[in-house]
Amino acid sequence: MKPCRAGTRRRALTSLGVLAFVWAAVAAAAIPPTQQQYRLVRMDRQGYRLELTEAPVRAPGPHEVLIRVHAVSLNRRDVFVMKGQYPMAPRDSLVPLSDGAGEIVATGPGVSRVHVGDRVASIFFQHWLSGRPPADVASSALGGDLDGMLSQYVTLSDEGVVRLPKHLDYEEGATLPCAAVTAWNGLVTRGRMQAGDYVLLEGTGGVSTFGLQFAVAMDAKPIITSSSDAKLQRAKELGAFGTVNYKTTPDWDKSVLSLTGNLGVHEVLEVGGKDSLPHAFASLAPGGHVALIGGLGGFGGDIPAVALITRNIRVSGIYVGSRENFEAMNAFIAQKHLKPVVDRVFDFKDAQAAYDLMESDQFLGKIVVRL
| Residue 217 lies inside a defined structural domain of this protein | yes
**Do 254 and 352 sit in the same domain of this protein?**
no
**Do 231 and 333 sit in the same domain of this protein?**
no
**Do 220 and 358 sit in the same domain of this protein?**
no
Given CA atoms 255, 259, 261, 267 in this order, what sign does their dihedral have?
A: negative
CATH at residue 58:
3.90.180.10
User: For residue 211, what pLDDT is reported?
Assistant: 98
Q: What one-character DSSP code corresponds to residue 158?
A: G
Residue among 345, 347, 340 at smallest CA distance from 365: 340
**Do 175 and 224 sit in the same domain of this protein?**
no
Say if CB 141 and CB 98 are below 8 A apart: yes
User: For residue 295, what pLDDT is reported?
Assistant: 58
Residues in the chain where the model's pLDDT stays below 70: 1-29, 45, 273-274, 295-301
Give CA–CA dist 136/128, Å, rounded.
Answer: 9
pLDDT digits (tens, 9 = 90+) for 109-143: 999 999 999 999 999 999 999 999 999 999 999 99
Say if CB 156 and CB 122 are below 8 A apart: yes
| Residue 13 lies inside a defined structural domain of this protein | no
Q: What one-character DSSP code corresponds to residue 138?
A: G
User: For residue 162, what pLDDT is reported?
Assistant: 98
User: For residue 290, what pLDDT is reported?
Assistant: 95
User: For residue 23, what pLDDT is reported?
Assistant: 39
Say if CB 49 and CB 43 are below 8 A apart: yes
User: For residue 9, what pLDDT is reported?
Assistant: 46
Give CA–CA dist 281/196, Å, rounded.
Answer: 20
**Do 128 and 200 sit in the same domain of this protein?**
no
User: For residue 46, what pLDDT is reported?
Assistant: 78
pLDDT digits (tens, 9 = 90+) for 307-351: 777 788 899 999 999 999 999 999 999 999 999 999 999 999 999
**Do 35 and 136 sit in the same domain of this protein?**
yes
